[in-house]
């Protein structure tokens, strides 16, 4: 049986399907002929799911991930077998200003989803979106999966808790759950303009200098969103073959750390722009150096990214060029 046969007609539940990663994941699942059901809290017309018309090909459940009755009803009535839990408040600045709503969505939403899956006998795969931020700040770089989860700031804490909750359900109840920790996602469809890549591209397209909120020296690895969608699908396919993956966490990254200034300079070069970035030096409650080691995913799952940073940036610039010209 090939991998596409695994997905054909398979009932798959995606929380956060109208989010940035969610839209790309839904698109790939539909290409593989899965029967996709999406939980949507907000109706965001410019999201990948809605703007491309993908929503016409999936079943939509309106509701909040914190509502256990809705989650359990969906899992039961749609006979869900695979769950991708992506719903979260993902913006660091919003988390700093609104910690309680972030904790409700990211932490309560996760235990609600996990408990609902525990009570739903047909569910045999649960994939939880954690983050590199779950590690907090570590003395050793790059981060690997053996390091403790020690978030300190609101968003980081919410992802540490998400991750630990998933591990708890795997170890206590033997729920078939795995955890994905991705580097900073980027690519077409990210409409959070305060993020450095979409914000820089939009500024340059509008004839303005890109703005860097930090001092330009914060280091991250940037992971192309189509690679991330493929990583989630690949992980689920491996869970189908390797029954001992429950409770495991995997880092996914292209392992190319760059500073914020280096990243913006790459974008300026690829867009043939002569602008210079404006450096605000205003970042707070963020870790200065953070990037991932993906050896575990490569060795245990046979996974590798398809796109280099430059290749991903070129595709991203092309996407926003079309998007902004249409708008």
Report the CATH number of the 3-186+222-253+291-299 domain: 3.40.50.720
CA distance 122 to 144: 32
Asked whether the predicted pLDDT for residue 4 surpasses 60, the reply is: yes
In this prediction, residue 238 carries a pLDDT of 97
Predicted TM-score (pTM) of this structure: 0.95
Asked whether the predicted pLDDT for residue 3 surpasses 80, the reply is: no
- Which bin fits 142, alpha (ψ -120 to 50), beta or left (φ > 0)? beta
Among 55, 135, 143, 155, which one carries the catalytic annotation?
155
Q: What is the mean pLDDT of residues 9-34?
A: 96
Asked whether the predicted pLDDT for residue 235 surpasses 60, the reply is: yes
CB burial of residue 104 (10 Å; 0-12, 13-18, 19+): middle
In this prediction, residue 268 carries a pLDDT of 97
Percent with pLDDT over 70 in the chain:
98
Q: What is the mean pLDDT of residues 182-197?
A: 94
Asked whether the predicted pLDDT for residue 1 surpasses 60, the reply is: no
Q: What's CA 71's distance to the chain center, in Å?
A: 20
CA distance 253 to 181: 9
Average pLDDT, the chain: 94
In this prediction, residue 2 carries a pLDDT of 61
Minimum mean pLDDT range among 46-50, 172-176, 178-182: 46-50
Higher pLDDT, 200 or 282: 200
- Cα separations in angstroms, 253 against 183, 214, 294: 5, 22, 6
105 falls in which pLDDT band (50, 70, 90)? Answer: very high
Active-site residue flag, 155: yes
CA distance 249 to 312: 25
Asked whether the predicted pLDDT for residue 89 surpasses 80, the reply is: yes
Nearest 5°: the CA angle 97, 189, 311 is 115
Asked whether the predicted pLDDT for residue 285 surpasses 80, the reply is: no
327 falls in which pLDDT band (50, 70, 90)? Answer: low
Give 116-158 pLDDT, tens digit per residue: 999 999 999 999 999 999 999 999 999 999 999 999 999 999 9
Q: What is the mean pLDDT of residues 43-71?
A: 92
Asked whether the predicted pLDDT for residue 253 surpasses 80, the reply is: yes
Structural domain boundaries of the chain?
A: 3-186+222-253+291-299
Q: What's CA 94's distance to the chain center, in Å?
A: 17
Minimum mean pLDDT range among 49-53, 218-222, 224-228: 49-53
């Amino acid at each position: 049986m090939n991998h596409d046969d695994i997905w054909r007609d398979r009932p798959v539940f995606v929380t956060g399907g109208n989010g940035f990663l969610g839209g790309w994941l839904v698109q790939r699942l539909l290409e593989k002929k899965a029967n996709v059901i999406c939980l949507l809290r907000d109706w965001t017309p410019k999201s990948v799911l809605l703007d491309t018309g993908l929503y016409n090909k999936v079943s939509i459940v309106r509701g909040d991930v914190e509502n256990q009755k809705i989650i359990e009803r969906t899992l039961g009535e749609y006979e869900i077998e695979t769950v991708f839990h992506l719903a979260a408040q993902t913006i660091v600045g919003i988390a700093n200003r609104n910690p309680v709503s972030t904790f409700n969505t990211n932490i309560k939403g996760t235990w609600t989803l996990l408990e609902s899956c525990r009570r739903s006998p047909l569910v045999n795969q649960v994939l939880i979106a954690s983050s590199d931020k779950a590690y907090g700040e570590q003395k050793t770089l790059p981060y690997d999966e053996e390091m403790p989860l020690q978030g300190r700031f609101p968003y980081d804490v919410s992802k540490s808790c998400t991750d630990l909750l998933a591990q708890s359900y795997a170890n206590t109840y033997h729920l078939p759950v795995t955890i994905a920790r991705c580097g900073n996602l980027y690519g077409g469809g990210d409409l959070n303009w305060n993020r450095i890549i979409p914000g820089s591209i939009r500024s340059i397209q509008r004839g303005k200098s890109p703005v860097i909120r930090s001092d330009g020296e914060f280091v991250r690895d940037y992971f192309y969103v189509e690679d991330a969608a493929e990583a989630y699908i690949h992980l689920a396919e491996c869970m189908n073959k390797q029954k001992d993956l429950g409770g495991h966490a995997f880092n996914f990254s292209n392992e190319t750390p760059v500073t914020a200034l280096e990243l913006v300079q790459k974008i300026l070069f690829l867009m043939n722009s002569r602008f210079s970035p404006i450096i605000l030096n205003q970042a707070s409650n963020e870790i200065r150096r953070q990037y991932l080691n993906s050896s575990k995913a490569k060795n245990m799952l046979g996974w590798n990214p398809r796109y280099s940073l430059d290749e991903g940036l070129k595709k991203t610039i092309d996407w926003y060029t079309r998007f902004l010209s249409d708008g």
